[in-house]
Amino acid sequence: MMSKLGVFDLSVRYGKLTAVNDISFSVAEGERVFISGPNGAGKSSLLAAIAGEVRAAHGRIEMDGDILSGRVPEAIARRGLSMVPEGRRIFRALTVQENLMVGVGLRRDKTAVPDDLEAIYAAFPILGTRRHANAGALSGGQQQMLAIGRALMTNPKLMLVDEPSLGLAPRVVDEVYDRLCSLQAQRGLTLVIVEQSSARAGRVGGRMLLLRGGRIVADGDATAFAADDLLKEAYFGEATP
């Protein structure tokens, strides 16, 4: 089966600093992949390179066999890859509904937009009740749901989510992941999620890529990893015997 996303020998450098060092992996259609690891492991750089926000120093990125690397972010978004950026980055002075409608400009199937909008409001009822409020007035958790809704409105085939739990209370994080997982099940989405907390990833479940120093140090089932010593090794260095 052809993979949804293919990353081949990808490196990202900022000046002399290598953030992502020769990484290769592939993601199958409908899969949920967590990218975990300590601070500075290269998680967000990897995601930014896939979305086209930073230019790869080396390597190739493909989606459905179509080459993404070297394209600008808006061109990549048009090919069906949607990004929920770190820190949510919602359009604060626009209303909730305007935020959701921003991304539909790139869709060809404009007739499906009203139904999709209602589907987002059904999945996140709070967004529906506050659809005319300024997005800046929402709480952190609501803003995260809005950022997810905004990404979904572009009707993506592949969705990247950068640190959805950042700055949110644990109970709210549970809710965000619940919604994200049920939306994935409904739509057959492929999800790649950066999640600093490997314990959290283990509880949600899926495949996990463990990054350290810009390399993949482990690739396997997130739930199995959560209990494993491998994690300690990745976060704190060599495990003591």
Partner 1 sequence: MTEHQARKLASLTTPLLLIALLAVFVLLVGAFGDRSLGRMAAETLIRVTLVVGFWIFVGNSGVVSFGHAAFACVGAYVSAWVTLKPEMKTLLLTGLPDWLAQAEWHVLPAAVAAGAVAAVLALVTGAAILRLSGIAASIATFAFLAMVNTIWANWTPVTGGTSSVVGLARYVSPWVGLGWAAAAIVVAAVYATSASGLALRATREDEVAASASGIDRYRHRLAAYTVSAFFCGVGGALMGHFIGVINPDGFYLSLTFLMLAMLVMGGIGSLSGAVVGVLVVSIAVEGLVRLEKGVTLGATEIALPAGSQEILIGLAMILVLIFRPAGLLAGRDLSLPAAWVAGRAKTTK
**Residues forming the site for partner 1 (CB under 8 A):** 51, 53, 72-74, 77-78, 82-83, 85, 89-94, 97-99, 101-103, 105-106, 131-132, 147, 150-151, 154
Angle (deg, nearest 10), helices 113-123 and 170-187: 140
Using the minimum distance from each CB to partner 1, give the nearer residue, 131 or 215. 131
**Minimum separation from the CB atom of position 170 to partner 1 (A):** 25
Residue 107 contacts by C-beta under 8 Å, 6 or more apart in sequence? Answer: 113, 154, 155
Give percent helix, percent strand, percent coil of the chain, each to the nearest 5.
Answer: 40, 25, 35
* Residue 237 backbone class (left: φ over 0; alpha: ψ -120 to 50; beta: rest): left
- Minimum CB–partner distance for residue 100 and partner 1 (Å): 10
Residue 157: CB minimum distance to partner 1, A: 13
Smaller CB separation from partner 1, 152 or 218: 152
C-beta atoms surrounding 35 within 10 Å: 26
CB of 29 to partner 1, least distance (A): 22
For the bound state, the minimum distance from the C-beta of residue 30 to partner 1, rounded and expressed in Å, comes to 22
Residue nearer to partner 1 on the CB measure, 161 or 201: 161
CA separation for the pair 40, 170 (Å, rounded)? 23
Instruction: Select 34 or 121, whichever has its Cβ closest to partner 1.
Output: 121
Residue 240 near residue 207 (C-beta atoms within 8 A): no
Which one, 108 or 171, has the nearer CB to partner 1?
Answer: 108
